[in-house]
Structure 1
Amino acid sequence: MTFRKLLTATAAILLISSAASAAQTPTRMNQYNDWGTYAYNDQSGKVCYILSTPKQMQPANVDHGDIFFLISQKPGQGIAYEPQVVMGYALKDGAKVEVDVDGKKYSMFSKQESAWMENAAQEPQLIAALRAGRSMKVSATSARGTNTSYTYSLSGVTAALNSIKDCK
């Protein structure tokens, strides 16, 4: 991940954090192939997350901005392995974001530039699929109506997830 993308990722995490005003700048902990690990402290304690950027973006002729897929551990809030997509643009109101891991599909609800699992009970299934999978595709619709898709490598996701398992 380039320094510019790291700074953008840091900014994105601070913006999406419910405690953005109290959050410190995330610290990069490690890199596991295509997945980086980061941590910061907020008023509820330590927050750890893994993050990756897409290998391919479609359509090729549009400005996608910076796109991230991340999975957070927030022990102080009782949140374990929460997947989230952060787009570089506003998503269409009410549109679902689809995550496809080797043919297994999961639905996310969107709000502004981000999306979370529609059914939180499926989060462990998505995490298990990521650990066992080869690639992930995320499909979304922008507020302008453009259908977009992003392909991610899952190389390093298991090691990255294992490294934040004991986030405290």
Structure 2
Amino acid sequence: MKRQVLKTSNLFWLLLLSSFQLAAFPGEVRSYFKDWLVVCQEISNSRNSGICRANASVRDKSAFNYGDGTVFQLTLQRGISTYYTIEFYNVLDGKYPSDRVTFQIDNDPAMTFSAQPNSLNGVKLSAEDTQKLIPAMKAGRWMKIDYVSQSGNEVSYRLSLRGVTASLLFIEQFYINRG
């Protein structure tokens, strides 16, 4: 009798816990690829847009002692049926990006692009400029980003490109699987 109650009790808890999992709203898929983090929102939930982002960050706790110390973040973003765009922001006063940005990958010639406002402290590149930059990012090891801030300060960051190709392949596969 005691064994039967235990089996029934275990079955009850198993069904209860699995029902919560099944009833939960789909959230997001996250995966790290070397120095890049990919976050994709599930498409099946009407509250989510199905956007995927591959993120690389620069952290400096001495300059920004909040959270993990992220002071600069670059994001490759793509929607279900859209092209990639590159967005980036800086949290430090006096270092908000302005309208021109220069990228240099490894020792290749630098590329300068116009940047469009995206938020108070962030900008984005056009889809066309992003498409020019992505192949070079895939082939490179490091990317240097230079710009003059809205306050007139020269700003320079160096980002690792280890994992960017795998991140973009993951995003492509995410959309194929949810086709």
TM range (shorter): 0.5 to 0.7
Q: CA deviation at 1:122?
A: 2.8
Offset, 1:45 = 3.0
Rg (Cα) greater in structure? 2
Query: Higher strand share goes to which structure?
Result: 1
Contact 2:74 2:86 in 1 (8 A): yes
Displacement after TM superposition at 1:124 (Å): 1.8
1:34 — aligned with what?
35
Counterpart in the other structure of 2:4: none
Q: Which of 74, 77, 89 does residue 79 from structure 2 map onto?
A: 74
Over the matched positions of the two proteins, sequence identity in percent amounts to 20
More relative contact order, 1 or 2 (CA 8 Å, 6+ apart): 1
Does residue 47 (structure 1) correspond to residue 51 (structure 2)? The answer is yes
Q: Which runs of 4+ in 1 moved over 4 A?
A: 41-44, 61-65
Aligned to 1:113: 121
Tell me the distance in 1 between the aligned counterparts of 2:56 and 2:71: 11
TM-score by length of 1: 0.67
Structure number with higher helix proportion: 2
TM-score (norm 2): 0.63
Gaps of 5+ in 1: 1-23
Matches within 5 A, 1:156-167: 156-166=163-173, 167=175
The answer to whether structure 1 residue 125 and structure 2 residue 129 are counterparts is: no
For residues 65 and 132 of structure 1, the distance between their equivalents in structure 2, rounded to whole angstroms, comes to 25
- Using the TM superposition, give the Cα deviation of residue 129 of structure 1 relative to its aligned residue in structure 2, in angstroms: 0.6
Contact 2:38 / 2:52 at 8 angstroms: preserved in 1?
yes
